[in-house]
Amino acid sequence: MDRVGKGIRGTPRDAIIAAVSHAAIRGASFGLRKSLDTLGGFIGPLVAVAAMLALAGNIQLVFWLAAIPAALCMVVLIFFVKEPAGHQAEKKINFRLSEAFRLNRSVWVVIGLAALIMLARLSEAFVLLKALEAGISPAWVPLSLVIMHAAYGLTAYPVGRISDQIGTRGLLLCGLSFLIAAHLTLAFATSVWLYVLGTVFWGLHMGFSQGLLGAMIAGATPAHLRGSAFGSFNLITGLVVLAGNTAAGFLWHSFGSHVPFVAGAVLSLVAMMVLAVKGQPAK
């Protein structure tokens, strides 16, 4: 249910950001959105750890507490978030349902690249599981999300601003380099500090890639088809993530926890080569 909710809210949210962001600051806009998003990812696990310790591990009550900010988000959405000026009129004049299936080649190139990157990047659930192998007790495992989101949040906005000046190709290549480093470090992490280093690399990868992909979709798509573009983007990458993580789980149980991380590093290298050959994606 949590992921269904994310799937429903993610597309219109990104379409609204694209609609209100001028092309010259599009990378910064999506980078800022990612940085603000990770602020909750930074604070939330800290609150979860504190609540688990204060409530003697009563995880059910922790989830009840987590429902409070979710309800407050609905209040903000209902009373304060509005459609961009002229957005409804533009859709009524220009939108045709058939056009939603005619996304241009540039959009599909970005979606294909994003799908390959998402296939290489395992779910954060595997990172959390690796924490247990590294010797971290279950009550402190959420701190790995704090570390990850700190690195993610502190880099997403600056990277977005830089992309508005120099483009996305070099930054995405840096992001994939961080992902390879994260995979290889976590694959053989046998100590807490080595695990923490891998988690930092993971967060840096996300900061160097996630906001850029959204900005690239927005830049490559006509205004009246951005909802369809972001929907297609989320659908295809979601299916890839489902298939990839199912395979990663099989590899973990069949051959050991290091194997899916090594496989992710290989896929990340393939993504780097594809990006290098294809050249500069659309901003």
pLDDT digits (tens, 9 = 90+) for 199-216: 999 999 999 988 888 888
Query: Per residue in 142-181, pLDDT tens?
Result: 788 888 888 988 898 999 999 898 888 899 999 999 999 9
Residue 138 domain-assigned (yes or no): yes
Predicted confidence (pLDDT) at residue 283 exceeds the cutoff of 50: no
For residue 143, being part of any structural domain is answered with yes
Task: Look up the CATH number of the domain holding residue 31.
Answer: 1.20.1250.20
The total domain count for the chain is 1
Q: Percentage of residues in the chain with pLDDT exceeding 90? A: 29
In a domain, 81, yes or no: yes
Alpha helix segments (H runs only) across 167-257: 169-187, 192-207, 210-220, 226-255
Distances (CA, A) of 4 to 14, 221, 234: 16, 25, 11
Highest-scoring range by mean pLDDT, 86-95, 117-126, 243-252:
243-252
Q: What is the DSSP letter of 83?
A: P
Average pLDDT, rounded, for the chain: 84
Q: Extract the tokens encoding 225.
A: 């088809």
Which pLDDT belongs to residue 267?
A: 95
- 251: in domain: yes
- pTM for the model stands at 0.78
pLDDT at position 264, please? 94
In a domain, 117, yes or no: yes
Question: Per residue in 66-92, pLDDT tens?
Answer: 888 889 988 988 888 877 665 554 555
In-domain check, residue 283: no
Within-domain flag for 1: no
Q: Give the model's confidence band at 258: pLDDT under 50 very low, under 70 low, under 90 confident, else very high.
A: very high
pLDDT score of 150 = 86
State the first-to-last Cα distance of the chain, in angstroms, to the nearest integer. Answer: 33
Determine, yes or no, domain membership for 3: no
Torsions phi, psi of 104, nearest 5? -75, 170
Q: Are the CB atoms for 27 and 163 separated by under 8 Å?
A: yes
> What integer pLDDT is reported at residue 175 of this predicted model?
93
Which residues span the domain enclosing 232?
10-278
